[in-house]
Structure 1
Amino acid sequence: MTAHQGADRPRYAYLGPAGTFTEAALRQVVTPEEATYLPQVDVVAAIEAVRSGHADRAVVAIENSVEGGVSAVLDTLATGDPLMILGEVLVPVGFVLAGRPGTAIGDVRRVAAHPHAWAQCRRWLAAHLPGVVHVPATSNTAPAALLAGSGDPVGFDAALVPPPAVEHYGLAPLAQAVADNPHAVTRFVVVGPPGPVPPRTGSDKTTLVVHLPSNQAGALLEMLEQLATRGVNLSRIESRPIGDSLGRYSFSMDAEGHVEDERVAEALMGLHRVCPHVRFLGSYPRVDAPHGDVRPGTSDADFRAARTWLTALREGRAH
């Protein structure tokens, strides 16, 4: 994931500024000594930087254990010039309520936060700062950078920020560990231009975008049967509006397995036969354990044995 032909240092776009959870994910992929970090104003800009050639890779959040899929990332990957997911990393998520030095928590009336951060702290906020106003931010550290600025009014009194951002931006912690779920985690993916699929490891994930075969009753079942009958388990499936009219949806999904696995390949061919649009977003090593075992009759050996038997039948060598 870190090599780039024809350049001394690969360029990685990510949601900035410094101190975001995305930067923490990026540091798991490649160090600042190995690559050039390109902070972007939002996740769409990070992905489009790869499409335009201004970056070689992008690291973006795709799923949170509390809030689910990141719609902007799912929708941007589902349309436009094809891109591929090359890998994934997990980052634990926690927040601190921080302000400028000298700020007292009793003075806080407006809190800046990324919408996902606000959603993950809403119960704590309701209990400790009832009536506080949410000021949306473009990233988890954008309000920290504003608070650390010239001292001019910024339109809010405090911000929900990642713990490392407090020291990085010279802020004062007003309350620690304010997230409602201490076990929250965000999944980030490494996105690059189309190319060779990362080799199969035996613990892989395949990401797809699929449109339903029709708008009739049973269309979703018909689509899912292509996976279920081949023993392909889904670890994530989300509907997203196609956008051309009301009531038309596509499905973003993560399937357990690799495109080189017989069952996954057969399922992809089945989807291609019955669905009007299938976008393959890559097969890549997964960082967590598979949710289920391979169902009997759907291993690579089972598919190969069935194919050998069918060939023998066609050639008159078996009955």
Structure 2
Amino acid sequence: MLAGLADTFAEAVATVDAGGAQVAYRSGGGQGPVVLLLHGISSGAASWLPCASLLAAHARVIAWDAPGYGASSPLAGKAPRAADYAVRLQGLVRALDLRPAVIVGHSLGALMAAAYLAQAEPGRRPARVLLASPAQGYGATGKERKAAEVARQRLEALATLGVSGLAERGPARLLSPHAAAGAREWVRWNMSRLNPDGYRQAVAMLCGDDIDAYLARRPEGVPVEIGCGTLDVVTPPIGAETLAQRFGLPFTPIADAGHACYIEQAAAVARWIRAALDQRPAR
């Protein structure tokens, strides 16, 4: 897997604004339509390698390291919103001169993808958005107690276990009991590269924002779909399906997958993405 990163999913860094902020990203595939991949709170760009490898013959695949992850500059302030991550993503899209065919956001990346769609300039909007195992956030009115509890649990775990400890326990929560050993090791390796400060910012965003606010402002003409692993215990499928119903969006169950569905069932998620590429409107 590590050799594959260097050979087929190489890392690069782009300067994305006048202040010199940088975004690290990995790219692979050919010159076809652009698929932009956004990871979740416990991961990074490299984690998409199994799925990206299956898309390489059909698309140009780009996965970013979110602000505060990998070599990407952190955002200003301790409690950014998804809209702030979306602004940084807009900078990357402009720097690379992209108009994504499909944006795929996983977990907290789904919140970022929804925020990007809500505020992207028309010329940089994706043709389609897929939200995989979406983290919906705890920032809505009435969720204050839950937000405080989630933040306390996550930050206490970081302080007590450290990044290495979080990585050791990660596969048991992010994958189903049936996951292959290679998938478990891949989750563990990617989690071991977390930046504590970037993780803390992401926790603040998770607990202070709400995906509904962004989906309510999505532009007409950009289809959005939601999918979730049938064995996901982090963002259970009932919650993802309820979100889809709330906004009248298609829902796709991803069989035999836990939360990190794009690692555990890379082929199924790649098929979902390829179907979205096939269905995108002509431009």
TM-score (norm 1): 0.26
**Between Structure 1 and Structure 2, which shows a larger proportion of helix residues?**
2
**Between Structure 1 and Structure 2, which shows a larger proportion of strand residues?**
1
TM-score (norm 2): 0.29
Structure possessing the higher radius of gyration over alpha carbons: 1
